[in-house]
Amino acid sequence: MCRRTSFLFFSTLLFVGLFVFVSADQKIIPAEPGQKNVTLPCRAPNNNNIIVLDWSRADLGEKYVLLFRDELFDPENQYPSFKNRVELQDRQMKNGDVSLILKDVTSNDTGTYECRVVQRGAKRRKRSVLKNPPISIVTLKVVPPGQTGGDTEDGSVVLIVGLILSAVLLVAAVGFLIYRKHKQQQSQDSY
């Protein structure tokens, strides 16, 4: 039973640690309603040709913020409020730059955006690009002037909280191991 408890404890510790570090990689971008342009950064992992690019938001259902495939942009599957308001920072996607520029920002643009790509030469199964893991997750917070979104542009608040939580979990794990070893030593001494 003691081994099972230890396994569950360390499995939980590993899961929480992974969640914290994955969350720390997310970017938070502040913007104001009416702001002319805001850039949501995304860079493909290598310089292979990009054959599918998808910028999406989970709350938009089956529609995309921007979809590029077969060397063309796909306006038919684009969510209506983003038509004529989004473009790529580099239309040629040189050096894997697939950052999105959002024009004339409104409070309705607040949300978490995910960037996914399929590149030439990558192992590609016959499945939707939506099933690929996002290479960038960007949270856009559109707040009126004078109000704060509570986060910084680079997500440093999330990173600091994640590091503090990881340190606390590490100390707890070490403390648990010392306690367990001490209890085992007491059990052996009592026999």
Straight-line distance from the first to the last Cα atom of the chain, in angstroms, rounded to the nearest whole number: 20
Q: Where are the domains of the chain?
A: 1-26+155-191, 28-151
28-53, pLDDT tens digit by residue? 999 999 999 999 999 988 767 889 99
Measure the CA dihedral 106/107/112/114, to 10°.
-10
58-99, pLDDT tens digit by residue? 899 889 999 999 889 999 999 999 999 999 998 888 888 999
φ and ψ of 158, to 5 deg: -65, -40
Residue 55 has pLDDT above 80, yes or no: yes
Check residue 138 and give its pLDDT. 96
In sequence order, what are the beta bridge partners of 39?
Answer: 101
Task: Return the CATH superfamily for domain 28-151.
Answer: Immunoglobulins (2.60.40.10)
Residue 5 has pLDDT above 80, yes or no: no
